[in-house]
Amino acid sequence: QLAEARGENLVRNGDFSRGGDHWLFKTDTSRPWEIGSLWFAMLFELGWVGLLAFNLLVGFVAAQLIRAALRGERLAAVVLASLVGFLGVGLNKGLLDAPRLTSLFFFLVLYGALLAGRNSPASPEPAH
C-alpha cells in the first residue's frame, strides 16, 4: 500500500485481487522474451504465410545477387555476403526485434534487389 497524507491508497490493485490489472511487468534483461531464431520469430509474428513470403523475398534477392556476382559485379557480392551474414546470425538470434536492425536488413534487401536488377541481362543498356 502507498498512501497519501489523507490515507487514500495510491496503488490500484495493490493486493492483486484483480490479477495483473494496473500492473506492468518488466525485466531488466530481454532474454526471457526473446525467440531464439529469426525464422521462429517470423513464424510466431507473421504465421506460415508471412514466413513463406519472407523466405521467397530473401531467396529471390539472393538468387539475383548470385547471378550478378557471377557476372563480376563486386558490389553484388558484398551485399550478398552481408545478407548471408545477417541470416547466419539469425539462425540463433531473433534479429528483427530491434527496429534499427529490421530497417537495415530490409534496406539491404531492397538495395540488393535494385542492384541486381540494374544490370541484369533483361534490362536495356543505358545510352552513352
Question: In the structure grid, which three cell numbers stand for residue 113, read together?
Answer: 534487389
Nearest-angstrom CA–CA distance, 64 and 56: 12
Residue 31 above 80 pLDDT? Answer: no
What would the mean pLDDT of 5-16 be, rounded to a whole number? 82
Q: Is 22 left (phi over 0), alpha (psi -120 to 50) or beta?
A: left
- Per DSSP, the three-state class of 55 is helix
Q: Average of pLDDT values for 90-99?
A: 80
Burial 27-51 (b: 16+ CB within 10 A, else e): eeeeeeeebebbeebbbeeeeeeeb
pLDDT tens-digit readout, 40-76: 888 888 999 999 999 999 999 999 999 999 998 899 9
Report how far residue 107's alpha carbon sits from residue 64's, in angstroms, rounded to the nearest whole number: 16
- Cα of 117 vs its chain's centroid, Å: 24
